[in-house]
Amino acid sequence: MFLKELESFIEIFTRLPGIGEKSARRIAFYLLRSDKEEAQKLAKSIINLIEKIQFCEICGGFSSEPICEICKDEKRNREILCIVEDPSDIFIIESTQEFNGIYHVLMGALSPLDGIGPENLRLKELEERLKKENIKECFIATNPTLEGDATADYIVRNYSHYPVIFSRLTHGIPTGSTLEFTDKHTLSISIKNRMIIK
Amino acid sequence: MFLKELESFIEIFTRLPGIGEKSARRIAFYLLRSDKEEAQKLAKSIINLIEKIQFCEICGGFSSEPICEICKDEKRNREILCIVEDPSDIFIIESTQEFNGIYHVLMGALSPLDGIGPENLRLKELEERLKKENIKECFIATNPTLEGDATADYIVRNYSHYPVIFSRLTHGIPTGSTLEFTDKHTLSISIKNRMIIK
């Protein structure tokens, strides 16, 4: 049994992250059983999302205006710049309510194998900000992966002549976890970087 | 950090089956990073799905025309009528390539607790078909749940004065599960060995 519109729906939906064929099919059947209005709302929410949300001209994060609300917020500490790989990382860091500085999105991480070099990231924009803004600390919050680490190294190596200090997220044992369930690599770093507490 | 269009997207996407807040957020970020065209295709596929697909006037299954291709197919065995709860069950049974009869969708199962009685199902339509069509076997493929079993019992009890035999899927499907989550092989065997129950 073949329904062109259903198959095309499934084909397009399975391109989304985390959606397999079974999930796409279930969603289609759910929509076919629901009010048409429900499906129309869904389609509208997709169009609204991409039409109204853009990249902030300063930090590169998501924004509904040319300059995002964090870059415009005068209460934020403009001396600490948090550097992240992806606009979505801003949401993750904001959700901790632990950081009150401003952001800079690189739009990726260095990955020679994927052909992503320094010129493909927002590094020129970063350097411009180091020149013009009153930044005292670059808090590099790239992912703890090969690519994220290489990107952090690149930034420290190339911009250390600016009068800023560079910091990174600590690596360590996740809260609530145990030594037993921590991978060796994380544990090694955690031991090497152990903190003196008294 | 609050973006109205993003929150509204997430709110609407989490109504879909199997989509939690984290998945919805990931999908939103994926779309925001992709070409606008990709998101437009997605929205279009939703609208196409609900605009073009309707319920077949005879069996109640999904169809892109008033009468579905199975009901129109002269090669199908019109003496065996497979009764299912949901239009999507037809796809599941068709995928086994084990059944060559025709279908009747009840649009649910008896469930007094949810206020679903015989009058809420397509049972009148079923009886009309038993009267008018040359059906010799009613193969009841409702889910092996309390509701599915009660519905099967109801059909056997109320329509046994028609000159048809009634059959059901054999056990093999774990009780309490649904057709949707049954692997094809189990379902194939279950169709091949369906038991005559009255």
* A interface test, pick of B31, B41, B50, B51 with most A CB neighbours within 10 Å: B50
Do A38 and A111 share a domain, yes or no?
no
Residue B182 pLDDT greater than 80, yes or no? no
What ipTM was assigned to the predicted interfaces of this complex?
0.76
> Is B58 domain-assigned?
no
Indicate the residue of B16, B29, B40 with minimum beta-carbon distance to A30.
B16
Of B50, B62, B59, B46, nearest in space to B13 by CA = B46
Do B35 and B103 share a domain, yes or no?
no
- Can you give the pLDDT at residue A171? 76
Alpha carbon A106 to its chain's center:
9
Among residues B49, B66, B85, which one ends one of the domains?
B49
Distance from CA of B116 to the nearest CA of A (A): 16
Number of domains comprising chain B: 2
CB contact under 8 A, B15 and A36: no
User: With the C-alpha atoms ordered B24, B27, B32, B36, is the resulting torsion angle positive or negative?
Assistant: negative
Contacts of A40 in chain B (CB under 8 A): 47, 50
Distance of alpha carbon A33 from alpha carbon A28, whole angstroms:
9
Q: Which residues pair with A168 in a beta bridge?
A: A140
For residue A191, the tally of other CB atoms under 10 A from its CB is 9
Of A91, A27, A12, A53, nearest in space to B26 by CA = A91
Instruction: State the CATH number of the domain containing residue B29.
Output: 1.10.8.420
Of B72, B44, B74, nearest in space to B58 by CA = B72
Question: How far from each other are the two terminal CA atoms of chain A, in whole angstroms?
Answer: 71
Residue A179's H or E segment, with its range, is none
- Can you give the pLDDT at residue A197? 66
> Is A188 domain-assigned?
yes
- Can you give the pLDDT at residue A182? 77
Do A23 and A117 share a domain, yes or no?
no
B91 to chain A: nearest residue by CA?
A1
CB contact under 8 A, B47 and A39: yes
Among residues A13, A30, A49, which one ends one of the domains?
A49
Alpha carbon A56 to its chain's center:
14
Token couple for A55: 């990249």
Do A106 and A24 share a domain, yes or no?
no
**Model confidence over B120-175: pLDDT tens digits?**
999 999 999 999 999 999 999 998 788 998 999 999 999 999 999 999 877 666 66
Token couple for A184: 């060796």
CB contact under 8 A, B25 and A91: yes
CB contact under 8 A, B47 and A47: no
Do B42 and B80 share a domain, yes or no?
no
Q: Which amino acid is at A154?
A: Y
Distance from CA of A166 to the nearest CA of B (A): 25
Indicate the residue of B3, B42, B52 with minimum beta-carbon distance to A62.
B3
Indicate the residue of B1, B33, B63 with minimum beta-carbon distance to A69.
B1
Cβ atoms of residues B141 and B188 within 8 Å: no
Do B10 and B97 share a domain, yes or no?
no
Contacts of A4 in chain B (CB under 8 A): 52, 64
* B interface test, pick of A45, A51, A82 with most B CB neighbours within 10 Å: A45
Do B21 and B106 share a domain, yes or no?
no
Cβ atoms of residues A11 and B22 within 8 Å: no
Distance of alpha carbon A91 from alpha carbon B98, whole angstroms:
50
* R_g of chain B computed on alpha carbons: 20
> Is B93 domain-assigned?
yes
**Model confidence over B76-123: pLDDT tens digits?**
999 999 999 999 999 989 988 889 999 999 999 999 999 999 999 999
Instruction: State the CATH number of the domain containing residue A135.
Output: 3.40.1360.10
Distance of alpha carbon B164 from alpha carbon B171, whole angstroms:
22
Do B135 and B192 share a domain, yes or no?
yes
Of B34, B190, B45, nearest in space to A7 by CA = B45
> Is B103 domain-assigned?
yes
**Model confidence over A117-176: pLDDT tens digits?**
999 999 999 999 999 999 999 999 988 888 999 999 999 999 999 999 999 887 777 777
The angle formed by the CA atoms of residues A135, A84 and B28, to the nearest 5 degrees, is 135
Contacts of A91 in chain B (CB under 8 A): 1, 25
Residue A54's H or E segment, with its range, is strand A54-55
Range of the domain at B152: 76-197
Do B36 and B83 share a domain, yes or no?
no
Distance of alpha carbon A107 from alpha carbon A87, whole angstroms:
7
CB contact under 8 A, A1 and B50: no
CB contact under 8 A, B4 and A64: yes
Largest CA distance in chain B: 67
